[in-house]
Amino acid sequence: MAKDSGILLESGTNELEIVEFEVAGNRYGINVIKVKEIIVPMPITPIPHADPAVEGIIQLRGDVLPVISMECVLGMGPSDNPQNDKYIVSSFNKQQVVFHVHNVTMIHRISWDAIEKPSGAYSAETSPVIGVIKLGGEMLLLLDFEKIVMEISPDTGIRVEQIQKLGKRERSDKRLLVAEDSPMLRKLLHTTLSEAGYDRVEFFENGKDALEYLENAAEQGDIEDTVQLVITDIEMPQMDGHHFTRRIRGNKALAKLPVIIFSSLITEELKHKGTSVGADDQVSKPEIAELVLKIDQYVL
């Protein structure tokens, strides 16, 4: 696999590295932070009555991992050159999943502001596309792998039952701002936060739009009269959550706002990235109950 950059070490630069892979000749991308390793296909044990996209399971160094067929997920035909097929072993949302692709080609280092948001024509809640990257006159589609896994296994996602287990909740008049690019997750967060008593939530598709809103609000007066807490994802087109958090901390009018990063990329190994840009707390998806308790801690 060719590579055109080194692994990013600094946080908050609004850059990321993308592993480019192919399915039926089309180009797609996955954030390198989600990739543990890339291996050649190995024997699979089929699972009876599994989702059609689940080819089966493999055992990798003692771990039993599900293998998801990306040609099935994307509705594409079979590989023309099966000898080039690869398994992308990934880790996010506190789980490991293997994605079967037709080839893995290279790694690109790019800026989030070079990733275009999907247009209304193909940004429906059912679409796995979260961004479009133009590279060398061609397009590479950045996919929502959390959504792909959640649709196959709903129990791995955010569930309102997690909030109900917290017991009776009082309604809160505190105002929250949420930056989250996934339409499906915005809908789930709206439902679960409302169940938790937080009805006054302003949603934005990315950090850039959310920052503009906060800066405009700060020009009108004390920001705490408009927003009491910010929740942000990390992976978002235009401006990622780390850079968004850094910009908040660098603005005197916004710096006092509590910021919680809520992302599938929160692990013990990666928490230092959020800490370095000034996040007050970090919670891994899909732990919505933990997120609500953190919100309580900062605003009640």
DSSP characters for 35-103? EEEEE-----B--TT--TTEEEEEEETTEEEEEEEHHHHTT----S-GGG-EEEEEEETTEEEEEEESE
**pLDDT computed for residue 135 by the predictor:** 82
Provide the pLDDT for residue 138.
Answer: 84
| Residue 124 CB-density burial (10 A; 0-12 exposed, 13-18 middle, 19+ buried) | exposed
pLDDT reading at 129 higher than 90: no
Residues 100 and 87: beta-carbon distance below 8 Å: yes
Q: What average pLDDT does the segment 143-170 reach?
A: 90
Q: Indicate the pLDDT class of residue 207, thresholds 50, 70 and 90.
A: very high
Confidence band for 11, pLDDT divided at 50, 70 and 90:
confident
* pLDDT of the residue at 2: 45
Query: Would you report the helix, strand and coil content of the chain in percent, each value rounded to 5?
Result: 30, 35, 40
Residues 38-59 have a mean pLDDT of 96
Confidence class for position 145, pLDDT limits 50, 70, 90: very high
**Residue 249 phi/psi, 5° resolution?**
-65, -25
List, in sequence order, every residue forming a beta bridge with 31; answer none if it has no partner: 18
Please, what is the Cα angle at 115 between 136 and 93, to 5 degrees? Answer: 120
Give CA–CA dist 291/300, Å, rounded.
Answer: 14
Residue 4: pLDDT band by 50, 70, 90 thresholds?
very low
Average of pLDDT values for 49-53? 94
pLDDT class of 10 with cuts at 50, 70, 90: low
Average pLDDT, stretch 8-25?
84
Question: What type of residue sits at position 255?
Answer: A
Contacts 24+ apart (CB under 8 A), 187-196: 187/125, 188/157, 188/158, 189/158, 189/231, 189/288, 191/160, 192/158, 192/159, 192/160, 192/162, 192/163, 192/288, 192/292, 193/292, 195/160, 195/163, 195/164, 195/169, 196/163, 196/166, 196/169, 196/292, 196/295
Instruction: Note the pLDDT of residue 124.
Output: 54
Q: What share of the chain in percent tops pLDDT 90?
A: 72
pLDDT confidence of 246, banded at 50, 70, 90?
Answer: very high
The whole-number pLDDT of residue 148 equals 94
Question: What percent of the chain stands above pLDDT 70?
Answer: 94
Arithmetic mean of pLDDT over the chain:
90
Residue 170: per-residue pLDDT: 92
pLDDT at 72: 96
